[in-house]
Chains A and B, each alone.
Chain A
Amino acid sequence: MASASQLAASLKPSASPEMVKRAELSEIDASTKLPALFFFGSSILWLLVGTVFALLASFKMHMPHFLGDYEWLTFGRVRTAHLNAVIYGWSINASFGVAFWLMARLSRAELRHSGLLLIAAAFWNIGVTLGIYGILAGDSTSIEWLEFPPYATPLLFFAYALVGAWAIITFRFGRSKHIYVSQWYVLAALFWFPWIYSVAQIMLIFSPARGTVQSLVNWWFAHNVLGLWFTPIALGAVYYFLPKVLGKPIHSYYLSVLGFWSLAIFYNWAGVHHLIGGPVPVWVQTAGITASFMMVIPVIVTAINHHLTMIGSFSALKFSPTLRFTVFGAVAYTFTSLQGSSMSIRSWSEVTHFTHYTIGHSHAGMYAFFTMVMFGSIYYIMPRIMLKEWPSAKLISVHFWACAIGVSFYVLVLSIGGVKQGMEMNTLPVGADGKVGGPIAFLEIVKNTIPWLKMRSYSGILITIGHLAFAINFVWMLLKPGSVGASAPTLFRNAPDLEVTR
């Protein structure tokens, strides 16, 4: 690969510093190629695996006899396998790829000895494979978000140590003087994750804490994986790709600072909202509810920052896949977070806790927000490391519409079905004579949820189609030969006068 100085020299002699910087960026991209490819490739593989488990679990809910004779495919194991495949397989692999590509670019430092990151990727994926196998075989710990058996987790630790160290080294050797907002988010996430994961492993598995302190640790951990790993990585991506694709600066540095620190302080405490009404002291429940309520601050601040950056350029959404996926994700972030804050209010939690509503919410967060942002990021990064364009704009379009409509429908049906379920569970009907009757029979309520569960399965089929389009496009891109000469970005439609890049 030609070096930066050669490239700069090969341009016009009066090449601008901007051009030099871009030549440098191409070097950096090249240094991240192999690990990024491995992380993205494995993430997409796990996305497909997780999607299969998702379909199985969803269909089994309203067709319990479907493949019901196989112990290794019983609902409790399949659902758990789905969760772990999409979190540790798809989401974290994609996070790694996007995180250190962002780190390398923003620090303007080449990834050194990037080949060693391939070992990290291999270990991570072996760990996840072993973990999923263990869950299906019956070794699940049944600790939510931490179900991998203890023989798989050391591999994950080792892989993480390598990735974490590499990102920090890259940052340390960076040429950039200014620490851009995306870097705060990514660095923070890289620091927070091993801490919460270690505490959870120790206090839940290796030296279990007393009684429901386990529950407090469990939900402190699980909610913080969402809020202090996935959210920062995705926000870091949004803060990079939004201004990058538009060629505009982020609206306000001050809002970025406020958004970051208020997230750091409040998100930590919000995890207890999973235990409202549970056997933990009332004061800690109240603390979690208050923190969840205060989360509205960083969410609104970030939403304003993003919106005011986008304003005037919404037409770019017609062309750019990256922008479309990223903006969809950013809007979903605002929606999901406000929904989450509302769910912590005790009277609303009384209704929605334990129902399908919470599943709709979790998919609004992990899919409509996080996954869609990751899709957008991968659409941007891949051409830069492969030096080829995405083969088919049609497939990108199918991917976007199938997943956007699919997940929106998913969240809608489970929200309606879940609220209905919760209302029926928790209100005592008042008879014609004014006397308060007994609660509605449980099996009656189960029967009423079935149509909504069926609709969820249909939305799952739509989402699967989107994933297949994505996977096909990805593999096609890997296999197709690089084209000589000018290349144009694969956009949704021609962008003649708008200088819109991927």
Chain B
Amino acid sequence: MSTNPDPNSPQSKGSLEQAGASDESIQRVHAILIREKEEPQEGFTPMPLFLLGFISAMIFLGSVYFVHYRGDFDPLVYDTRYDADSAKAAASAPKELSPEQIVAQGRVHYNTCASCHMPNGQGVAGAFPPLAGSEWVTGSEEGLIRILLHGLAGPIMVKGNPYNGNMPAFGPGGGYNWNDKKIAHVLTYIRQEWGNTGAPITVEKVTEIRKAESARSKPWGDAELQPFEKL
């Protein structure tokens, strides 16, 4: 779209003036540079006063935030809620975990199990047995610990339903490599969750069974575990 030049507009005036010049490029240059406005200038309106107040408020708020969340400038602090005094008190406190803490730790470890046994312990029908209300969980600890250490394969019955799967070994050599503390804590957790009522499992018991079965590398089968279930 090109407007028909208005005879009174600046560009027309310019080009009419140049009718005598032979250089076409001069004409084109004139057209564009003549119609251009002036090069940019700066005005000198003073800064509005409210800006001063606004900026001061921002600086104040920013400083307050920074000081509050500085984590003592400690390069090993990663949590904004970190409080040096509480941390020191906790550090000097006895290292024994309370039953609640053991269950809480067990719940965190359970996240790995949840991918198959589900967060609500119901498992998946026909594929992964439930842990809630399961006789395998609330029954003998001897069998349960062995399942965790070396895995479970082959057909089994859980709460009257058949399952035939492959639970991996969580003890040494299985890839997960959980230590005795982890195994004891997660088993303690599942034995008291979802309505289960089973006694906690101690770390010492897990160590004892691991040593007793140190020669074992294959997963357990139903038949092999039956003697332990009766204990």
The residues of A with any CB-CB pair to B shorter than 8 Å are 1-2, 7, 10-12, 18-19, 21-23, 25-26, 105-106, 180-182, 239-240, 242-247, 249-256, 258, 279-283, 286-287, 289-290, 293-294, 296-297, 300-301, 304, 308-309, 346, 383-384, 387-389, 392-394, 437-438, 482-491, 493-494, 496, 499, 501
In the complex, whether B11 has a CB less than 8 A from a CB of chain A is yes
Chain B, 16-33, contact with A by CB distance < 8 Å: what is the 0/1 string?
Answer: 011001011111111111
Residues of B within 8 A of A251 (CB): 43, 45
With CB as the reference atom, state the residue of chain B lying closest to A493.
B1
Among the 9-residue stretches B51-59, B125-133, B170-178, B181-189, the one with 4 or more Cβ atoms under 8 Å from chain A is B51-59
Structural contact, A294 and B6, CB atoms closer than 8 A: no
Looking at chain A's contact residues, is the secondary structure mostly helix, strand, loop, or mixed?
helix
Say which size band chain B's interface belongs to: 35 or more
Given contacts A10-B26, A383-B32, 17 further A-B contacts (CB under 8 A): A10-B18, A18-B38, A245-B37, A250-B42, A252-B42, A254-B47, A255-B47, A281-B74, A290-B62, A294-B59, A297-B55, A384-B33, A482-B28, A486-B12, A487-B31, A488-B2, A493-B1
Do B33 and A283 touch (CB < 8 A)?
no
**Complex A-B, nearest 6 residue pairs according to Cβ-Cβ distance, in ascending order:** A247-B37, A282-B71, A243-B40, A438-B119, A249-B41, A253-B42
A249 adjacent to B58 (CB under 8 Å)? no
User: Which of chain B's residues have a CB closer than 8 A to the CB of A493?
Assistant: 1
Which of A7, A282, A394 contacts B29, CB < 8 Å? A7
Which residues of B71-91 have CB atoms within 8 Å of chain A's CB atoms? 71-80, 82
- A135 to B42 alpha-carbon distance, docked (Å): 45
Q: Given A2-B26, A254-B46, A294-B59, verify A21-B32 contact (CB < 8 Å).
A: no
**Residue B108 is within 8 A (CB to CB) of chain A in the complex:** no
Contact A488 B3 (CB under 8 A): yes
Whether B82 lies near A258 (C-beta < 8 A) is: no
Smallest Cβ-Cβ distance to B18: which chain A residue = A10
- A105-B24 Cα distance, complex, nearest whole Å: 23
Given A252-B45, A289-B65, A297-B55, are A494 and B3 also a contact pair (CB < 8 Å)?
yes
> Are the CB atoms of A180 and B25 closer together than 8 Å?
no
Report how far A22 CA is from B31 CA in the complex, Å: 11
A279-B78 CB under 8 A given contacts A244-B37, A297-B58, A501-B36: yes
| A286-B80 Cα distance, complex, nearest whole Å | 9
Q: What total of A-B pairs shows CB separation below 8 Å?
A: 184
Is A484's CB under 8 angstroms from B3's CB? no
Contact across chains for B78 and A487 when beta carbons are under 8 A apart: no
Contact yes or no, B3 A282, CB < 8 A:
no
B24 partner residues in chain A, CB cutoff 8 A: 482, 484
B28 contact set on A, CB distance < 8 A: 387-388, 482-484, 487
C-alpha gap A281/B79 in the complex (Å)? 9
Binding site for A on B (CB under 8 A): 1-3, 5-6, 10-12, 14-15, 17-18, 21, 23-48, 51, 54-55, 58-59, 61-63, 65-66, 69-80, 82, 114, 119-120
Instruction: Determine how close the nearest CB of chain A comes to the CB of B211; give it in whole angstroms.
Output: 35
Contact A488 B38 (CB under 8 A): no
Return 24 A-B CB contacts under 8 Å, by A number: A22-B33, A22-B34, A26-B29, A180-B40, A180-B42, A243-B40, A244-B38, A249-B42, A252-B47, A279-B78, A282-B70, A286-B71, A290-B63, A290-B65, A297-B58, A304-B48, A308-B45, A384-B32, A482-B28, A484-B27, A486-B31, A488-B11, A490-B2, A501-B37
B21–chain A nearest beta-carbon distance, Å = 6
- Determine how close the nearest CB of chain B comes to the CB of A488; give it in whole angstroms: 5
A286 surroundings in chain B (CB, below 8 A): 65-66, 69-71, 80
- A252-B62 Cα distance, complex, nearest whole Å: 26
Known pairs A26-B29, A105-B39, A487-B31; A281 contacts B76 (CB<8 A): yes
The one of A239, A282, A301 that contacts B51, using a Cβ cutoff of 8 Å? A301
Beta-carbon contact of A243 and B78 below 8 Å: no
Hey, which chain A residues are within 8 Å of B42, CB to CB?
180-181, 249-250, 252-253, 256
Alpha-carbon distance between A479 and B46 when the two chains are bound, in angstroms: 49
Contact A486 B47 (CB under 8 A): no
- Chain B residues positioned under 8 Å from A25 (CB to CB): 33, 36, 39
Give chain B residues whose Cβ lies under 8 Å from the Cβ of A438.
Answer: 114, 119-120
